Structure 1
Amino acid sequence: MESSKLLSLLRVCTSANSLRQAKLLRQRILAVGLQNDVVLCKSLINVYFACKDHFSARLVSEDNIDVQSDVYVWNSLLSGYAKSSMFNEALEVFRRLVNCPFCVADSYTYPNVIKACGALGREFHGRMIHSVVVKSGHVSDVVVASSLVGMYAKFDLLGDLVQVFDEMPERHVASWNAVMSCFYQSGEAEKAMEFLDRMERCGFEPNSVSLTVAVSACSRLLCLERGKEIHKNYVKRRLFESDEYMSSALLDMYGKCGCLEMAREGFEHMPRKSLVAWNSMIRGFVGKGDSKSCIDLLSRMIIEGTRPSQTTLTSILMACSRSSNLQHGKFVHCYVIRSFVEADVFMNCSLIDLYFKCGEVKLAETIFAKTQKDVVESWNVMISGYVSVGDWLKAIEVYDQMVSVGVKPDAVTFTSVLPACSQLAVLEKGKRIHLSIRESGLETDELMIGALLDMYSKCGDVKEASRIFESMPKKDVVSWTVMISAYGSHGQPREALHHFDEMQKLGVKPDSVTFLA
């Protein structure tokens, strides 16, 4: 009777997160000699973890040899550490369990251990646990096998993941979801859709998680018809539209596929509009460069009590930049200042880009002066901004400053600064940048090759331009036109006409610029 009463009180402590009461109950348990009661020990561990007193939770098992013979206590410790994201501690508990002569791990032990290996990126340990699970026969447990699928997903080992999944004697919807999510997150949206089809053929009913992944995959693939089909067959019929993530995924899909009216219809019918939903709706208008609709949505969300995030504001600034709408851009910038929003590097870059697009160079420079200087993105947006307004010298000057302060240029930096060299015909500077590109291992980048070809041809080094052109794995109409123009502009008309003939023989269709060259 005493045991049942104590257990009930411990459960109340867990719900209320009352550490003080739990410690008083622990003293009572010791006083009445129930410290070996496994159920009470498990409950004590749970309440200590709920109250974040991890030290006391560990002591419950360490202080009592009799309790250590029961795997359920070990499992409670493992579960507590895993739920608290204390994965190193979880693996240490498992090591102690393996070395414990009185106890053997069971199917409830392994999911938390496997989760810890995946979270810590310990592939070697994960494979060892996998082999132990196979030998012990626990791999036939659907939860254990699903945990292995999740672990290999964390390691991005898609082959191993599919092998474990295919060998599962029994599956549930969560197993299918884990595989679909893994393929989607690895950029293989088509594979995610294939597994949805397989899931349906095997008679499994997709849940809101499955459908959210599937709709997100349709969004990435711009597959509107399949997205509409999923919406019609599952979402509307099963009232999944009340699911926040499902609704936001649908808004995102319709927005990216250009069906903004359908997105708006779904948005207006949402009983509760989360920040994710507002952002999804705004992103749809960003794609169209419709800054007015974005500003209208921003005003609405503020009135309706949802605070815009940095992502919201950065997205709207991108729309203002695309439409070159200075008034809308300044409205957002003023909101950022008035609301004491701490602008991150992406928001500042969006503001710089906006002001360059609107010809407000001084404002762009003012923002840059306050922006984080140890990230390449800040410098890139300034270089490309100066190029966009035709201030080639400034673009090269910013590039030199960037290198002098120790920020390593990336592919975007080089493809932004090379056009400035082209316009100024500063061949020596272009060659030095080419050397930096080679040292960075970026010379094979397709856009980089095009930028180098343009630079050498405009700077008059036709020989080097020809070498780069011949090394190109794929030659499009732009690259052929650049070479024809280079030969024509530098006194080699026969070579220009030869390249024009070769271009047509290879099936590349000339455009008006080609004919002009």
Structure 2
Amino acid sequence: MAASARSVLNRLIQHAVHPKGSKPASSSSPSVSILRHLDSGDLPKAIAILSSAAAPFPVPVYARLLLLCSSRRSLVDVRRVESHLVAFSPSPSTFLLNRAIEAYAHCGSPADARELFEEMPRRDGGTWNAMIAAYALSGIPREALALFSSMIGLGIRPKEVTFASVLGCCSDLLACFVARQIHCLVLKYGYFPNVILATSFVDVYGKCLVMDDARKMFDSITNPNDVSWNVIVRRYLEAGRSTEAILMFFRMIREGAKPLNFTVSNALIACSEVLALKEGHQIHVVLMKFGFEEDNVTMNSLMDMYVKCGVVEDARQLFDQLPSKDVVSWTVMVSGYATCGRIDEAEKLFDLMPERNVFSWNALLVGYVHLFDWDKALDFFCRMLRESKEIDFVSLGSILNVCAGISDLDRGKQVHGFAYRHNIESNLFFTNALIDMYAKSGSLRNAENIFYITVEQRDAVSWTSLITGYARYGRSEEALLSFREMLCEITPNKFTFSTVLAACANIFMLELGKQIHAYMMRNGIELDVIIRGSLVDMYSKCRSIEYAIRVFQEEISRDLILWNSMILGCAYNGLGNYSFELFEEMQKEGIAVDNITLAGVLLACISEGYVDLGRRYFDLMTVEYGVIPRIEHYECMIELLGKHGFMVELEEFIQRMPFEPTIPMWIRIFDCCREHGNKRLGERAEKCINESNPLNPVKFEMLATT
């Protein structure tokens, strides 16, 4: 479009220089010389002739000069042209001064543009539009809107192009209220239907997340162009309404419109967001129909969609068939392999990359972090520091996740210092990782300091990281207090609810737990398997097992954590037989048991006094269930045998243990021996306890029986 406008302007200038029926100017005249240099693109020679002439030039000459200065972004030359125009023209053309304002804007000097604007003796609508556009182009939307307001106050009627500029500024500022006022003005001046203005309103309403208004405006466009379709698909995607974005894309295809490559890309990204593999396949057919097979933007988005939907082999097939692979293509595949846990293939592909950027490095680094492979992540980050200078907030945030995972507070502080020196710490992703690292490492004071510094930008992740830190280190009251404050500022996410329910369980706050449960139901928050597991755990620990069972039975899809929570909850609340029923049902549904499940079963045996059954489950742990007994299973067996008076069996069990009992185990053994009578084992327990704590010795004496 710009090239077409330039061609029309050139023809107009040529017509002005050589009007029909007039004699051509002398080939040696300054005007002709300047135009000849402009035709050949020699701006310095054209400016030199202009500067040496002490007389005004025709309007087309100045216009051509300003146009070339603008395209070359030559601010100094724009100033020279404007100075010559003002100095030698007794009454400078408003048209030319408007072009000078535009040229200053394109050269990145809105201050020069505003100075000229203020000095102009006469202004027309084009002058105001040029200055408003100058501010918009220079990224100063507030000044543009202020100038537009002054323009309206003076009774100057804006043109369609002026409205388009100010609507772009409203988009930048997310100024929905101002956009609605401008909407009224557009209706007042009768500028509808106008596809450009209507698309601008779709854009601003979409960016302000009032998608219903954006959709109404889009539907009012009689013949949407390709830009209109792209905007509505993109805004639905950015508003988190990926399904509607996909539907609008297919509506576009049904109505016979040809999509832009970015429209196809956005639709594929929407499929990635909601794992819509079937629709992604259909879009694959569409892009082939319109000949986008060699367009890297669409093909990279297609590969990413297949990766996100779990069909990595389809993505690899596309990758191998690409006629030209850019760094994004390679990065998508590396990220795909790393994300799905195929880290060896990700490493091989990464090493084959002809070029890498920071996203490529981050793709593999994030893969290591997701797999909790802390050592490889640290080694890879060191390699990244040696071979690449491109360290960004994702790189540092990932290393902070590693520091949090291994509770390496000192290294985390070093990363914090590095980010501070390189002015990266203001990024929200990095800030949240920093809060999480300090909170998980037990440095809650530092976590609080970072959290309260970011008051203007913190989100649900920030709050959740701090609340999790409080709950993790036994400060449940502070966790719940922070949760109350969070509700006044932002809507919690499911991880927040899970954490605060755990805090309620820790301090047996049943009533508050019920209130949180009710809050989630009132506000339509999905009670997924994670939250239901937390609810079951909270109700179980607060001795409200009936509610726990009700929550458990409402869930159709149950994962291992939910089953474990219910089995443990019943065992803790004296419903060991129901724990056994759940254990059998769990196995029938094909859920593989783990060490926590078996700990719950052993606790149920303790609760019901089923000593032989408990011994059988313990003996079958490795053979039948593939679980190696851990310290908690040995503790359960000591409790099971000791509590129910099987002292001979207890002594034999201790002899067979692959490790020496811990001090807490010896203390429990000591108590059981005193209660049920086993002098030899009791005195052995006494010796071990006293050796560990000689300042506070115990003395074994069997309790008197009545």
Q: Which residue of 2 aligns with 1:75?
A: 129
**Which of 242, 245, 250 is 1:197 aligned to?**
250
Q: What's the counterpart of residue 260 of structure 2?
A: 207
Kindly state the Cα deviation for residue 466 of structure 1 after the two structures are TM-superposed.
Answer: 4.5
* 1:149 matched residue in structure 2: 202
Partner of residue 336 from structure 1, selected from 375, 379, 384: 384
Using the TM superposition, give the Cα deviation of residue 155 of structure 1 relative to its aligned residue in structure 2, in angstroms: 1.0
- Aligned mates of 1:404, 1:214 — CA distance in 2: 40
Gaps of 5+ in 2: 1-16, 18-57, 418-424, 426-430, 453-461, 509-535, 605-706
For residues 255-278 of structure 1, the C-alpha deviation after alignment (integer angstroms, 9 at most, x for no partner) is 112333332343345455444333
Counterpart AA for 2:169: A
| Aligned counterparts of 1:11 and 1:351: Cα–Cα separation in 2 | 50
- Selected match of 1:447 from 495, 498, 512: 498
Deviates more, 1:262-271 or 1:193-202: 262-271
Which residue does the alignment assign to 1:88?
A: 142
Partner of 1:139, secondary structure, is coil
Q: Which amino acid aligns with 2:160?
A: S
Tell me which amino acid in the other structure corresponds to 1:463: C
Name the CA distance, whole Å, in 2 between partners of 1:120 and 1:53.
21
Partner of 1:392: none
Q: Does 1:165 align with 2:215?
A: no
Deviations 1:280-301 (A, max 9, x none): 2222112212222332333333
466 and 245 in structure 1: CA distance in 2 versus 1, 3 angstrom threshold:
same
SS at match of 1:372: helix
Answering whether residue 403 of structure 2 is matched by residue 370 of structure 1, we say no
Cα deviation, 1:141-169, whole Å, max 9, x if unaligned, reads: 11111111111012110111111112223
**1:241–1:247 contact (8 Å) kept in structure 2:** yes
* Residue correspondences, number: 481
Conservation of the 8 A alpha-carbon contact between 2:539 and 2:545: no
Cα distance in 2 for partners of 1:13, 1:450 equals: 65
- Equivalent of 1:258 in 310, 324, 328: 310
Kindly name which structure, 1 or 2, has the bigger radius of gyration based on alpha carbons: 2
Residues in 2 aligned to 1:404 and 1:243: alpha-carbon distance in whole angstroms: 48
Structure 2 contact 541–569 (Cα < 8 Å) conserved:
yes
Does the residue aligned with 1:88 lie in a helix, a strand or coil?
helix
Answer yes or no: is 1:138 the counterpart of 2:194: no
Q: Which residue of 2 aligns with 1:30?
A: 86
Preserved contact between residue 380 and residue 416 of structure 1 (Cα < 8 Å): yes
Deviation digits for residues 338-361 of structure 1 (CA, Å, limit 9, x no counterpart):
14647555434433545787xxx4
1:386 corresponds in structure 2 to none
1:387-406 correspondence runs (5 A): 398=442, 400-402=444-446, 405=449
Q: CA deviation at 1:211?
A: 0.7
Report the Cα offset of residue 183 of structure 1: 0.8
Identify the range of structure 1 (73-82 vs 450-459) with the bigger mean alpha-carbon deviation: 450-459
**Which position in structure 2 is the counterpart of 1:305?**
355
Pick aligned residue for 1:281 from 304, 322, 333? 333
* Correspondence for 1:54: 110
Instruction: Provide closer, same or farther for how the CA distance between residues 491 and 470 of structure 1 changes in structure 2, counting only shifts above 3 A.
Output: closer
Q: Please state whether the residue corresponding to 1:198 is helix, strand or coil.
A: helix
Letter in 2 for 1:82: A
Q: Which runs of 5+ in 1 are unaligned?
A: 384-394, 422-427
**Residue number among 449, 457, 463 corresponding to 2:542 in the alignment:** 463
Change (3 A) 1:3 1:407: closer
**Contact in 2 for aligned 1:449/1:472 (Cα 8 Å):** no
Equivalent of 1:126, from 165, 174, 179?
Answer: 179
The 1:121/1:370 distance shift into structure 2, 3 A limit, reads: same
CA distance in 2, matches of 1:462, 1:500: 18
Aligned pair in 2 of structure 1 residues 450, 379: CA closer, same or farther (>3 Å)?
Answer: same
Report if the CA contact (8 A) 1:345-1:372 is conserved: no
Q: Which is further off, 282-291 or 328-337?
A: 328-337
Distance 1:349 1:121 in 2: 29
Give the superposition deviation at 1:99.
3.2
SS in 2 for 1:398: coil
Q: What do the CA deviations read for 1:487-515 (whole angstroms, capped 9, x no partner)?
A: 42354658x579979xx9xxx97966499
Give the letter aligned to residue 42 of structure 1.
Answer: N
| Cα pair 2:568 2:579 within 8 Å, conserved | no
Name the aligned partner's letter for residue 298 of structure 2. Answer: M
What SS class does the counterpart of residue 542 from structure 2 fall into? Answer: helix
How far apart, in 1, do the equivalents of 2:470 and 2:152 lie?
59
Which residue type is aligned with residue 153 of structure 2?
N
In 2: Cα distance, 1:348 partner to 1:489 partner:
43
SS of residue paired to 1:370: helix
Deviation at 1:191, TM superposition (A): 0.3
Matched, 1:290 2:346: no
Structure-2 residue corresponding to 1:351: 399
Cα deviation, residue 26, structure 1: 1.7
The answer as to whether partners of 1:466 and 1:483 remain within 8 angstroms in 2 is no
Return the TM-score normalized by structure 1: 0.79
Q: What does residue 678 of structure 2 align with?
A: none
User: Any idea what SS the aligned residue of 1:61 has?
Assistant: helix
Change (3 A) 1:299 1:105: same
| Equivalent in the alignment of 1:389 | none
Mean CA deviation greater in 474-483 or 138-147: 474-483
| Change in CA separation of 1:464 and 1:276 when aligned onto 2, cut-off 3 Å | farther
- Of 295, 298, 307, which aligns to 1:243? 295
**CA 1:273–1:39: 2 relative to 1, 3 Å:** farther
Distance 1:356 1:28, change over 3 A: closer
Q: 1:119: Cα distance to partner?
A: 1.3
Q: CA deviation at 1:52?
A: 1.9
Rate the CA distance shift 1:295–1:462 in 2: closer, same or farther, 3 A: closer
Residue 227 (structure 2) aligns with: 174
Work out which structure has the larger RCO, using CA pairs closer than 8 Å and 6 or more positions apart in sequence: 1
SS at match of 1:12: helix
| 8 A Cα contact 1:117 1:126, kept in partner | yes
Aligned equivalents of 1:312, 1:53: Cα separation in 2:
36
Give the superposition deviation at 1:133. Answer: 0.5
The letter of the residue matching 1:300 is: L
Greater CA drift, 29-38 or 474-483: 474-483
Residues 451 and 314 of structure 1: is their aligned pair in 2 closer, same or farther, counting only changes over 3 Å? farther
Q: Among residues 11, 14, 20, which one is paired with 2:70 in the alignment?
A: 14
Bigger mean CA offset, 188-197 vs 245-254: 245-254
Q: Distance in 1 between matches of 2:464 and 2:486?
A: 9
- Displacement, 1:313? 2.8
Offset of residue 440 of structure 1: 4.1
- Kindly provide the amino acid, as one letter, of the partner of residue 486 in structure 1: G
C-alpha change, 1:51 and 1:233, in structure 2 (3 Å) is: closer
**CA–CA separation in structure 1 for the residues paired with 2:448 and 2:204:** 43
Q: CA deviation at 1:21?
A: 2.3
Measured on the aligned residues, the alpha-carbon RMSD in Å equals 3.9
Rounded to whole Å, the distance in 2 between the matches of 1:141 and 1:443 is 42
150-159 or 279-288, larger mean C-alpha shift: 279-288
CA 1:462–1:344 in 2, change beyond 3 Å: closer, same or farther? same
Aligned residues of 1:48 and 1:56 also touching (Cα < 8 A) = yes
> For 2:224, what is the secondary structure of its paired residue?
coil
Task: Tell me: CA distance 1:468–1:37, structure 2 relative to 1, closer, same or farther (3 Å).
Answer: farther
Q: Distance between the aligned counterparts of 1:76 and 1:417, measured in 2?
A: 56
One-letter amino acid of the counterpart of residue 363, structure 2:
S
